[in-house]
A and B are shown apart, each in its own frame.
Chain A
């Protein structure tokens, strides 16, 4: 069993704290590292991959340090986010070179190319590949030595739906085989579809951890804010506040609108039109005022 242990790890660049005192362990199965862009996901993955030293704390693989320990790569496969690879090689030459660097030969390379179903284009130059094809060849290069840990930084970026599904299947199989698979993403649905376990990072902090149901609940149960305009704001406010799904209402006179904070998302969305109809009030505007992913995440950090 291979476990990555991240113990009280912080990393700063000059005055900027990219990762702030994170402790987590990543075990076998598929784990999704979820967070908005700039949250510190890449910094964390780079530390897990041995390409960045933690400023404080330790990152280990089954108690062996990862930083400055080349031997660790016998067990780790890395799929970087950056596009650059040896574009002047063919896909096959590239994967064979990666196999050779592990002390393996053509056979291992062939097997890896078959796993990602890239044999049909293996003799073309990488410079002619589409984004999805590049991603698959990168996968093959990370899989040549049959690693027990696979780290992928934003692997689905720029992939079309079919390629995305194909890669998801592949990663699911890897996780089911008992490998430790960790991938990062800023898209909740992506993580939800694939990961059995989710770690949420926001602004360098570890915001939440658990299976997708728990994370989903955390995200939908939070207070939702709405901006509502009607032809009788005060009557509407009085009627809404009587219901327990509403936590607070503010009359914003400058805006000429109500700012409503709802605690029970499902119930409130049903309540609002009903109440309006009963009291003969016309709703002019109903808009959620904080539905951006960033606000969802920042709620999680505060929680």
Chain B
């Protein structure tokens, strides 16, 4: 849709494609589809390896989201005030 208010948006995450490729990559790591069936693995910081990898990917996703919001969600100054 179109609206005059949208002219205040200087950048928004949805329109930057590579942001979503990084999300896709991090989600692909977080979702445990690539481990062998029935895998548990060694314990890392109290968690089975596959859970530790998933949790690390979630931390990565959260950090990435902060970066995206900070740098790619921008509106003109009057909105930010």
- Same complex origin of A and B: no
